[in-house]
């Protein structure tokens, strides 16, 4: 796996603003197919299980429910036994499952830089008198809906604010993945602390910007190759 930025499929996360889903509508109404899935159409892929077996089928990753999906007849189904998955290949891309699907961006020595993309609910607006709305973030009345994988297909009773979320993690399939931040880099490369701090001072990294994250990870790869 090279360290190049993955650009295949839909890059719907670039500078995406929040979206307000109006009461009486469905979240899915605001995400047509081309914005709902990682790829344009279902692509050839393989689901490889921990016991060494695999299933070859056409796959796509759904941003809304965070599921890896496949077509069976006229139905779109989600892979259910995620605890048994070793990894998923779609075309040249590799995904691991660790509290969600993580797409590999680069190999950093024994580590891998991965990207998690999903639609996040960031606020729920309470409906008040005269048709006005007020913020009600952390509202518990919506938690039962969010806990179901099909919440996006339900009619919401209040205005709901959602946002395309992109997060970056680093780790390995064996040891798990952690949110990629300065602290993690220092913990993984303690002997290179001075070099890492100098790089970050000269090149401040916004850990939500993919280009900057990838450049920093390539710097860490160079350090790893020296060890």
The DSSP line for 143-210 is: HHHHTSTTGGGSBPSSEEEEEEEEEEEEEETTTEEEE--HHHHHHH-GGGHHHHHHHHHHS---TT-H
Residue 161 belongs to a domain = yes
10 with 34: CB under 8 angstroms? yes
> Residues 34-48: what's their mean pLDDT?
95
Residue 48 belongs to a domain = yes
Reference 42, options 58, 31, 55, 57; nearest CA is 58
Residue 5 belongs to a domain = no
Domain span at residue 110 reads: 19-226
Residue 121 belongs to a domain = yes
Give the count of domains, the chain: 1
Write out pLDDT tens, residues 126-166.
765 444 455 544 333 333 334 345 678 888 888 999 999 99
Residue 10 belongs to a domain = no
Residue 162 belongs to a domain = yes
Residue 150 belongs to a domain = yes
Write out pLDDT tens, residues 69-92.
999 888 999 998 899 999 999 999
Residue 6 belongs to a domain = no
């Amino acid at each position: 796996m090279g360290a190049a930025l993955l650009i295949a499929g839909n890059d719907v996360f670039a500078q995406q603003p929040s979206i307000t889903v109006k009461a009486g509508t469905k979240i899915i109404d605001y995400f047509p197919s081309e914005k709902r899935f990682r790829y344009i159409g279902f692509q050839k892929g393989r689901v490889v299980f921990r016991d060494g077996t695999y299933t070859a089928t056409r796959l796509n990753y759904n941003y809304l429910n965070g599921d890896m999906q496949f077509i069976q007849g006229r139905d779109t189904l989600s892979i259910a036994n995620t605890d048994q998955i070793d990894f998923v290949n779609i075309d040249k891309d590799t995904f691991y499952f660790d509290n969600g699907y993580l797409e590999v961006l680069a190999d950093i020595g024994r580590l891998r830089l991965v990207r998690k993309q999903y639609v996040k609910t960031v606020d729920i607006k309470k409906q008040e008198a005269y048709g006005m709305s007020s913020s009600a973030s952390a509202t518990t009345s919506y938690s039962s809906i969010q806990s179901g994988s099909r919440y996006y297909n339900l009619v919401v009773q209040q205005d709901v604010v959602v946002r395309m979320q992109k997060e970056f993690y680093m780790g390995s399939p064996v040891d798990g993945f952690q949110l990629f931040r300065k602290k993690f880099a220092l913990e993984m490369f303690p002997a290179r602390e001075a070099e890492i701090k100098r790089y970050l001072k000269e090149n401040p990294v916004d850990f939500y910007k993919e280009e900057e994250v990838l450049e920093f990870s390539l710097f860490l790869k160079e350090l790893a190759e020296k060890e």
